[in-house]
Structure 1
């Protein structure tokens, strides 16, 4: 028996998987959580996360290129903000799920 594969559905799943891989990165998630309070400079993100400037800058570049954050230049500063409120919704839903289930479930080695 041959199963017909919907190429659009496969593409959508791959893109969705890639999106969630981005959210699964600890540093990117920390950046999003900092930006949920409003736009911040790289220095403010570094201070809030404790992550080095080069690492934060690389992740912000990636998030900007993926159109998940905006950058706004003002003088010598660059301000970053979350581009789409759906990002906030995803993070808040993740926090709600964590709150509603036991911590042991997320210690699963298969994750």
Structure 2
């Protein structure tokens, strides 16, 4: 359970900020470069880069170099693992006898 709590804490840190949440939402539609995210959100380039760094640290997004550009995308494997763990934890709690 502690591992799950740590992962949920990372998720909260990642999308607990409205600007980072908007970036994740934009990336749900497919990979984007920093400049594309700047245009979509209206955020400054330094702010987008800073938030993407935090999202990478939280493992919510990953990046891939494409020529001179870097594309960012939602780390779907991590998100699926987290959602599965959370679902399993909820199911265990449902079937626990009440104390």
TM-score by length of 2: 0.68
The answer to whether the Cα contact below 8 Å between 2:55 and 2:61 also exists between their aligned partners in 1 is: yes
* Cα displacement string for residues 4-41 of structure 1 (whole angstroms, at most 9, x for unaligned residues): xxxxx456435423422321201110100110110000
1:23 to 15, 32, 38: 15
Q: Does 1:40 align with 2:57?
A: no
User: Take 1:52 and 1:15, find their aligned partners in 2: how far apart are those partners?
Assistant: 29
1:54 to 46, 49, 74: 46
Tell me: CA distance 1:66–1:22, structure 2 relative to 1, closer, same or farther (3 Å).
closer
Q: Does 1:75 align with 2:67?
A: yes
CA RMSD of aligned residues (A): 2.1
Query: How many angstroms does 1:44 deviate by?
Result: 0.5
User: If you compute each CA radius of gyration, which structure gives the higher value, 1 or 2?
Assistant: 1
Tell me: CA distance 1:71–1:14, structure 2 relative to 1, closer, same or farther (3 Å).
closer
Gaps in structure 1 of 5+ consecutive residues: 1-8, 91-111
